[in-house]
Structure 1
């Protein structure tokens, strides 16, 4: 609803855009917390083969996610936002090179093996959608598409941090996303979504929300794919 003092064409609401976004994916987030991959992290029952599948696919995913963040940087409205997204893109690549190499070593493999692993169906679908949205859409569309990876991992990390895990490998993964430095980064991106959403029209917000819900679903599917050790059917 627009108010008499609003900028013509922009959306004015008593609720923040981020509140609207999170409400739309609450059932998806609940399903993620209940997923056996996630519960298996905290109770230590997740098979290492499933976690290795996740790390291999995440290595592929993060390379394209870094490209998506670099595109968000190029389309960002302010110089501060350009620098922040550029830094996040570099950090995504660093995570792939450092943390994943460490995990693969502990799982009896190597970063080179992760790189050579086939890109799975869900990974290919997720990154293709992500890059198409960021390339072809508005800045708000791209921001909404990359946001679930930030926000859901932060929420999952916080939820799991209190329980940690009897498996040292899984406890390390949980600590990474429950870390306050990562939480601070996510708060910055959520605040940017609020700021950008406040300047958008209702139609623009609705389109962005659709992208946000879609990539949130892909987050659930990514863990499901690892749980099933997904491969191409033919």
Structure 2
């Protein structure tokens, strides 16, 4: 069994808890308050900028030249394409200011950046993988369970269905599996720990948007 398959089994309960959370269910049926969605979009836009920088750092450290190119493209997509997408939705939903990094977003990006800077590249790649993989799976779930009648978030939900993003996720998983295969057992263990931690961060990111968690 591949490292990714084994590791996904360890977070199945966490993943289900994400699907069950009010933010996801209310986004799917269109009842999520606009204030919560605005909070989410602003924090997600800030997150993507730092996520792109983290991917660039991984690109500088990874050995295989094709993987270098892949992570450079991942970084470009996060910073340019996704940020442009959010800017268009800022207009749609009346977001005028991204504001500052709030606790959940702050903790998540600093975990990723410190992992990319201080740990081995294998662990760094595992740490960023949930942002690819869980985002796709949750996005597919929302897309398949949405209320498409008078859902104010319908246009935004439809962006989840892109085959290009799905292919990029599969590629990121494949890179991680290859790195794990060529690593020691101890490194694979740390890769799994990093993946689990980022999965928890994913949950808290959505939870923070639903509860409007800010610095006290």
Q: State the 1:20 CA deviation.
A: 1.3
Q: Which residue in 2 is equivalent to 1:213? A: 196
Q: Which residue in 1 is equivalent to 2:19? A: 33
Question: Which of these residues, 90, 93, 96, is aligned with residue 104 of structure 1?
Answer: 90
Q: State the 1:178 CA deviation.
A: 2.7
Of the structure 1 ranges 74-83 and 206-215, higher mean CA displacement relative to structure 2 is found in: 74-83
Distance 1:108 1:174 in 2: 17
Listed one character per residue, the Cα deviations across residues 140-167 of structure 1 (whole Å, up to 9, x for unaligned) are 1100110000000111122222233435
Q: State the 1:101 CA deviation.
A: 1.1
Contact kept in structure 1, 2:2 and 2:177, CA below 8 Å: yes
Q: Which residue in 2 is equivalent to 1:83? A: 69
Contact kept in structure 1, 2:30 and 2:152, CA below 8 Å: no
Question: Which of these residues, 108, 115, 136, is aligned with residue 133 of structure 1?
Answer: 115
Unaligned residue ranges in structure 2 (runs of 5+) = none
Distance 1:195 1:164 in 2: 35
Q: State the 1:169 CA deviation.
A: 4.8
Distance 2:125 2:93 in 1: 34
Contact kept in structure 2, 1:41 and 1:165, CA below 8 Å: no
1:231 and 2:196 matched: no
Distance 1:40 1:95 in 2: 26
- SS of alignment partner, residue 194 of structure 2: helix
Q: Which residue in 1 is equivalent to 2:187? A: 204
Distance 2:164 2:112 in 1: 25
Q: State the 1:77 CA deviation.
A: 2.4
TM (normalized to structure 2)? Answer: 0.95
Q: Which residue in 2 is equivalent to 1:57? A: 43
TM (normalized to structure 1)? Answer: 0.88
- SS of alignment partner, residue 162 of structure 1: helix
Q: State the 1:96 CA deviation.
A: 4.4
Structure 1 residue ranges, 4+ long, deviating more than 3 angstroms after superposition: 164-169
Unaligned residue ranges in structure 1 (runs of 5+) = 1-14
Contact kept in structure 2, 1:16 and 1:194, CA below 8 Å: yes
CA RMSD, Structure 1 to Structure 2 (Å): 1.3
Listed one character per residue, the Cα deviations across residues 172-200 of structure 1 (whole Å, up to 9, x for unaligned) are 33222231111100000111111111111
